[in-house]
Amino acid sequence: MNDGKIYAVIGNPILHSRSPALFFGGFSQKLMPGAYTRLAVDNLDDALALAADLGLAGFNVTSPFKQEIAGRLDKLDDVAARIGAVNTVVAHGDRREGFNTDPQGLLGALEAGGFRPKGKRVVVVGAGGAAKAAVYALRQTGAARVLLANRTLAKAEAIAQNLDCEAAELPALRDELPETDLLVSCLPAHVNTVDPDWLDPDLVVLDANYAASPLGDAARERGCRVISGLSWLLHQALASFRLFTGRPATPAEMEPALTKLASPRERLGRGIALIGFMGAGKSEVGQALAAHLGRRFVDLDREIETMAGCSIAEIFQTKGEPAFRRMESEALAKLPFAAGDVVACGGGAVLDPNNRRRLRKNAVVIWLSAALDVCVARASDGARPLLAATDGLSAGELHAQRLPRYAETADLVVDSGRRSLDAVVKKIVHEIREA
């Protein structure tokens, strides 16, 4: 049972992120309660509002929000302030403090890959938060030369002036790379502006994008030594884990989960499961999402009613909640999860640990989150047995009880309280396509 704090990573898109696997490994190995998920948002305002709704104890930040969020926090540590970018936020009540563990992450990855930057010539490509962190780290460790190359020279020059490096436009790479020891690419996913012919076999290459790296593939074909972006992800997560929990973790504790846990992309073909509190919109979103994707829609409550031959309310009245929960688990166990069905689960389905494991194994699990007052207003139709029960928990108590279970189970959180039905479906579809 998970009675710990909730953490997450925010970005757009974000379903591809492997950070949850790393933190799952850390929590498991340390025998610490805690959950870590992904927040799917369009802008930083939405991200901060959703983080507040969920009461996050902390969160990581990735593209495109690392620089923007630096100006929205109550305090920055020295590294984040110097770089002007944040990748880790720790909540202290209503106050949020920003840190940047990317420099530690990059240097940890380089060390693990056998590369020491001191006295070496380095080219960093990009002008976002990751690129700035890379320049900062390499300058701090005594690289002989750090050149920042970007499509827009003015952006590169502004960063170079602040972080004491050189700047150039991307076409300059043709002449610079033959004299370079290390190339660090921090360009957006699926973007590669480096011609393979420019890559000398003696060059060491690290692409921050671990999900898809045309540059990494080309570098391997040219005989270059390639350090995976996953190593950067791992080592920055080690530093974030300590900030979140106050306890250190090792690569041996966090890294194995990357291969043990199937990524959301690997589970997309099996099914998509929607979880969330009553009134969050699971049935409506599920029907619309299934229609959009051309998949079958399954409402778990309707499956239970068919199995029992009576309504959910009647099951509660005549047999009680424990009997309903047993039927719920039985109905979920019978679902084939083989053809990509979209399944809307009841609000309490995640209370059973076997249900949580089955969902995480067989589907991409999307938590539709809406503020409690929104859920209660939507659910006040007399058809919700748990709300109607006078001897049961209040809606607030139920919500608080289930929040950690939703976080533990979910691959992705989508705000369904502030968004229209169409916007929720579009957001989910966008994340699925980018995974």
Residues 6+ apart with CB under 8 A from 102: 83, 85, 87, 129, 130, 133, 134, 137, 232, 236
CB 342 within 8 A of CB 290: yes
Q: Is 211 helix (H, G, I), strand (E, B) or coil?
A: coil
Residue 190 is given by DSSP the state: T
Cβ burial, residue 194 (10 Å; 0-12/13-18/19+): buried
> Residue 69 gets which letter from DSSP?
G
How far lies 287's CA from each of 123, 182, 295, 375, 422, in Å?
Answer: 49, 50, 9, 19, 11
Q: How far out from the chain centre does Cα 371 lie? A: 21
* H/E segment holding residue 36: strand 34-40
Q: Pseudo-torsion of CA 392, 394, 395, 399, nearest 10°?
A: -90
* Cα 282 from Cα 294, distance rounded (Å): 17
Q: Are 298 and 271 in contact (CB under 8 A)?
A: no
| Candidate list 5, 30, 66, 118, residue with the active-site label | 66
Tell me the Ramachandran region of residue 121: left when phi exceeds 0, alpha when psi lies from -120 to 50, beta otherwise: beta
List strand residue ranges (DSSP E) for 286-355, in order.
297-299, 341-344
Whether residue 66 lies in the annotated active site: yes
Kindly state the DSSP code that residue 363 receives in the 8-state scheme.
S
Query: What residues act catalytically?
Result: 66
